[in-house]
Amino acid sequence: MTAFIITKDNVASAEDKAERPDGKSNLHAKNLVGPGSASDRDEARLLAGEGVAFRLLDDDGNVNYYGRRLEESDADEDYYGEPELAPLDCFGTPNAGAVTQEEKNREGKWEAIN
């Protein structure tokens, strides 16, 4: 499992963003750290800007979320999927129907990793 943070939420409504300006909610996910088993240390690392940048897209190619994930974290081992896909599997798909996770390749272009 890998810990992750959502840095930009393109799904939240204007009303949800206004009601939750700091985010940290499924309704406005900016600054939301996951999974629930992420440690305080993981959260501090993510809030400090550490991690691999990713974005989560729906089946129409619209970007739902941007974020970062840690390569290694203190999050528990109860996740049986690919660790790098934890943001998609644990948050993007159930929360907004995201189907693709992209990360930047060596040329700096977004590329699907699933």
Q: What is the pLDDT of residues 36-59, one digit of tens each?
A: 888 999 999 999 999 999 999 999
Number of domain units in the chain:
1
Q: Supply the range of the domain harboring residue 40.
A: 4-106
> To the nearest 10°, the Cα dihedral for 89, 94, 96, 97?
70
Pick from 10, 1, 4: nearest CA to 96 = 10
Please tell me the predicted confidence (pLDDT) of residue 98. Answer: 98
Here the tokens at position 86 are 């934890």
Is residue 111 situated within a structural domain?
Answer: no
Query: Does residue 13 form part of some domain?
Result: yes
The model's pLDDT over 6-36, given as tens digits with 9 standing for 90+, comes to 999 999 999 999 999 999 999 999 999 998 8
pLDDT in tens, 70-93: 988 887 666 677 889 999 999 999
Task: Report the predicted TM-score, pTM, of the whole model to 2 decimal places.
Answer: 0.93
| Any domain includes 11 | yes
